[in-house]
A and B are shown apart, each in its own frame.
Chain A
Amino acid sequence: MRKKFLAGLAAAAAVTLAVSGCSAGGTTASSAASGGGDVTLEFAQWWEPELPQGSLRALMDKFESENPGIKVKLISGPYASTKEQVVAGAAAGTMSDVVGLDGAWVNDFVKQGSLANLTDLMKSASFDESQLAAQVKLDGSTYMIPVANFVYPMFVNEDLLKAANVSAVPSNRTEFAAAAAAVTKTGKASGWVLPLDTATPNGIQNDVMSWVWASGGSMLKDGQPNLVGNSDVKDVMTFIKGMYDAGSIAKGTFTMKEQDKVNEFTNGRVGMMIDSLAHVNLIREQNKDLKFSVAAIPAADGYSGKRGMPYASWGIGVANNSAHQAEAFKLVAFLMGKDVNATLCNSAHAFPGNTQSVPDFVNADPIFKQAFEIYQAGTATNEFTGLPVAEDLMRSFDEQFQKYLAGKQSVDDALTASQSAWETSFKG
């Protein structure tokens, strides 16, 4: 009897396992309608852990109260795992209804067919596009809307520059190289910091190509790779190589990550860095005595045009497999609303995705005020946004650039090899 009972139990457990195993892969949409007719939207993003505790949930509660019948379940994780979650979720058909996006992912996700066409959803919802600061489009259709923008100006340690007898913040490359050399010469710190770690190769976007964009240059031509024979890119590479050979760049550059860069600056070990405004409060918290300011990234000598400034976005999109795309877009529209967008950007210390929003922090803090002025005077530029396998493009350029810095190849060879790798990636 006992044997029979155990055998029965074992078989029941097996059947349960098999059924649950099979059903997990059979789900086609992550949203669910509960018995009461409510729609529960899943919102996967990396924002919640980076915002003050409870602030995103508070906005979701507001959305729920304004939209009876729609509930929002936040799926939060680190930046990198959100990306992997979206890739895997799209393949398995279990992607969250609303997803936080980085512009660098969009092209690949659109190719995968995992993102819904927001142009159609905006039309259906009669949403006023004119209030949006930017849209990430592919083949004329929008797939991502930037909700919050983090610009990357140049940070300057005022005490170190003063100690090096640098009286003015550098505004062109010659001044910058001279200031970096002067700071290094004091023996107290390095002039500049350049993170080129290949695991997270965004240093190419933020710390290398930013110099190209600051002088109105481009790494593309008609949307295609344009590295060979591109004097804008080549000049920046030789400019950086000059500082590298002069020892003006902090050591450890080849495996340095963005966080290490911020640590070096926060601890007063480098005079200048290009970094996200999002780190201002972190720097202040970790080193209350650090005197620093922000400025536009120095341009090529003699350049007087509008300066590009790199930015990264917290973008938003809707899953193609969502069974509740209309409700999902209501959440997108809610986050892009003038007041809500201002509240969110205020918490994130980011510049708004809605042109009419003005977050309080922009006027309340001198550094942010300064950054906002630079932002308004220049152009937010990020040529990697919307490109295929954008992270891999950065990585392949990074590998060639490192070889050039290490003296293992010429600048022309580095550009030729990068161009070839990029062309292969563009062909898909």
Chain B
Amino acid sequence: MASASLPVAGAQQLGSPKRQPGVSGTVKATLVPYGYLTPTMVLLVVLMVIPIVMVIGYSLMDNVIMKKNPQFVAFKHYSDILTSESFWNAVSNTLFFTGVSVIAHLIIGLAFAMMLNTGLLGNRTKAIFRTIYVLPWLFTVAIIAVLWRLLLEPNGVVNYVLMASGLAGTQVEWLSQPETALFAVTFINIWSGYPFYMTSLLAGLQGIPADYYEAAQVDGASPWQRFVSITLPQLKPIIISMALLDFIWTTQQFALIWMTTGGGPLGSTEMLSTFTYKLAFSKYQFGAASAAAVIVLVISMILAFFYVRAQKARD
């Protein structure tokens, strides 16, 4: 009621005849919103549009940065990269690393979120587990890399436990054997990333009305049927959004790979990010590195398109 009466009170206070705005007033009124938007627009242009346009420009040049007068070479870098065996090896590794990480993040995150949402545990117990489960998310990538390098090194704790329990006969070189390295870095990434899903899904679970479950229980639905017919559909918008975001982030994972395996051994953990970095800062081929970065940008934009579409559908 109070809010409805405010405009009237305001009009009475003004107490002046209604005036038509002049031309300059109309222009000002039109420009004011743009004034508000300007800082954001300038930031977007300076921090995003200009760098992206520059990188696209670089990708069409001979070898920018290292040459004073680079030549225009059109799409040569793109054709070189797309026909390179190393690039497709990196694509294949990135797809495996990302796909397995996203699926495992989802399954583990959902399982832990449901455990923390259960009514079978007391609040104190839940708080303890919530703290333990969220721990990996609190570490920076550098700490995660150092921690797991120490755990997985041939003389590390993991091998000690495996050998002491008789599960392994000899020391396993988890990060140094081509056969195990990709699985090892994927596992580390899964370990470090699931709490993001867990906390978001827990919030989603807590928003599902209890009435739905009670009604289903009255109708004789089993726990599995309640999970499939109530929990999953209710969480679907969150799951889709998070899976897409996670897919985008994981395809760009660089620091973890660089600090654990550097893309080796024998290229078995080479990702698009490490491939691009090596082109730029090891070979100093900034033109080719820019082309690789543009390819990653296009892939990310396609994923971002689906993310935005999922968000719109959710709204």
Contacts and interface: CB of A to CB of B under 8 A. Distances in A.
A and B part of one assembly: yes
A112 interface: yes
A185 interface: no
Contact of B263 (A3, A6, A198, A408): A198
B121 interface: no
Interface in B48-67: 64-67
B42 A108 contact: no
B178 A406 contact: yes
B309 to A, nearest CB: 32
Contact of A255 (B28, B262, B282): B262
Nearest to B270: A198
Given A260-B153, A395-B282, A254 B264 contact: yes
Contact of A108 (B31, B32, B46, B284): B284
Contacts of A17: 39, 42-43, 46
B35 A389 contact: no
A255 B265 contact: yes
Interface in B98-136: none
Nearest to A11: B35
A255 B264 contact: yes
B42 A255 contact: no
B173 A251 contact: yes
Given A17-B42, A21-B46, A83-B281, A255 B176 contact: yes
Contact of B176 (A200, A251, A269): A251
B261 A87 contact: no
A255 B43 contact: no
A326 interface: no
Given A10-B39, A87-B284, A199-B258, A252 B153 contact: yes
Contact of B32 (A3, A391, A399): A3
B38 A11 contact: yes
B27 to A, nearest CB: 12
What band does the interface of chain B fall in when counting residues whose beta carbon is under 8 Å from A?
Answer: 35 or more
Given A252-B154, A395-B282, A14 B260 contact: no
A220 interface: no
A256 B177 CA distance: 11
B210 to A, nearest CB: 46
A28 interface: no
B155 interface: yes
B308 to A, nearest CB: 26
B312 interface: no
A21 B264 CA distance: 39
A392 B283 contact: yes
Contact of B262 (A108, A197, A269): A197
A91 interface: yes
A7 B283 CA distance: 48
Q: Which residue of B41, B43, B64, B171 has the most chain A CB atoms within 10 A of its CB atom?
A: B43
B292 interface: no
B36 A84 contact: no
Given A6-B36, A91-B65, A252-B154, A406 B258 contact: no
B36 A255 contact: no
B284 A389 contact: yes
A112 B64 CA distance: 10
Interface in A370-428: 389, 391-392, 395, 399, 402-403, 406, 408, 425
Nearest to A197: B262
A255 B261 contact: yes
A254 B181 CA distance: 10
B202 interface: no
Contacts of B42: 14, 17-18, 21
B32 A112 contact: no
A250 interface: yes
Contacts of A252: 153-154, 173, 175-176
Given A251-B154, A255-B264, A113 B68 contact: yes
7 closest Cβ contacts across the A-B interface? A199-B262, A254-B265, A7-B35, A251-B154, A14-B38, A91-B65, A198-B264
Interface of B: 28, 31-32, 35-36, 38-39, 41-43, 46, 64-68, 149, 153-155, 171, 173, 175-178, 181, 258-267, 278, 281-284
Given A91-B64, A399-B264, 9 more contacts: A4-B28, A10-B36, A13-B38, A21-B42, A113-B68, A197-B262, A199-B264, A253-B176, A255-B260
14 contacts: A3-B32, A7-B32, A7-B36, A17-B39, A198-B262, A198-B264, A251-B176, A252-B175, A255-B260, A389-B283, A392-B282, A402-B266, A408-B266, A425-B283
